[in-house]
Amino acid sequence: MTRMVKLKNGIDVPPLGMGTWNMGDNASLRSDEVTSLRTGLDLGLRVIDTAEMYGSGRSENVVGEAIKGRRDEVFLITKVLPSNASRDGVMKSCKTSLKRLGTDRLDLYLLHWRGNVPLEETVEAFERLLEEGVIGGWGVSNFDVNSMKELDRLSTGTSCVANQVLYSLDHRGIEFDLLGEDRKRKVVTIAYSPLGQGGGMLHNQTLADIAAEHETSLGRATPAQIALAWVLRQPSLIAIPKAGSVKHLHENSAAREISLTKENLAALDRAFTPPTSSVPLEVI
């Protein structure tokens, strides 16, 4: 049975999903992007993450086309910009996102990052959407330990179910404190860019050596699959690599078959040094 991640609101979701950053930016790629997302759903990658910021809504439009007729298969996440995070702004942004996505509900609605609007005001709007049944849960993105503690002090702040942050082998800062703190709060971590940025990390020799030791249903493992398996080993975590192509989706899906050994993990720690002190939250 595939391992699942349980959210604080009782919903179970698979630990591997699909990100959509940059989707919709090139009209000539739209058909391929829609096909990729639908392929991911076929493979059981139910979580689709998008945001009103991505392509100024174009990403949400692509997702809406991809999930048409398949809404019940999807755990749908989108994000509101901090500039739209006032009480009225959240309601307006949510309505617009729903229209682009072609649905009447979101499974998870996130504040994209901290802005100038008081957290209490944003959370009040989230709670209103929750009461109205428009969203199934709410969370945050790019929140560090201090921001999470501030959120906890709000009367309904403990209803936060997820925190989406940068996490990969070459961006391990959250391991020192944030990952454990969120776990204590039963806040699920959503790891964006789990394969790094630009592909440079994947040329690391240690990743290549470990990949040579592992097989998947597609054949010899790849460095990207090892990097993804490393992220997925964490409990209470969902990884959302970009759903870039059908080929990459199959490779990402097969990464779930890989169990890294203690020796593998030790070698990766030597190649990608874990944090030894608190560091500022990294944001890309």
DSSP 182: H
Question: Can you read off the two tokens belonging to residue 47?
Answer: 């979580």
Residue among 171, 165, 129 at smallest CA distance from 237: 165
- DSSP states of 207-260 as a string? HHHHHTT-EETTEE--HHHHHHHHHHTSTTEEEE-B---HHHHHHHHHGGG---
In degrees and rounded to multiples of 5, residue 37 shows phi and psi of -65, -40
Question: Can you read off the two tokens belonging to residue 201?
Answer: 């990390």
Known catalytic membership, residue 109: no
Residue among 95, 91, 74, 20 at smallest CA distance from 50: 20
CA distance 150 to 147: 5
Question: Catalytic residues, which ones?
Answer: 54
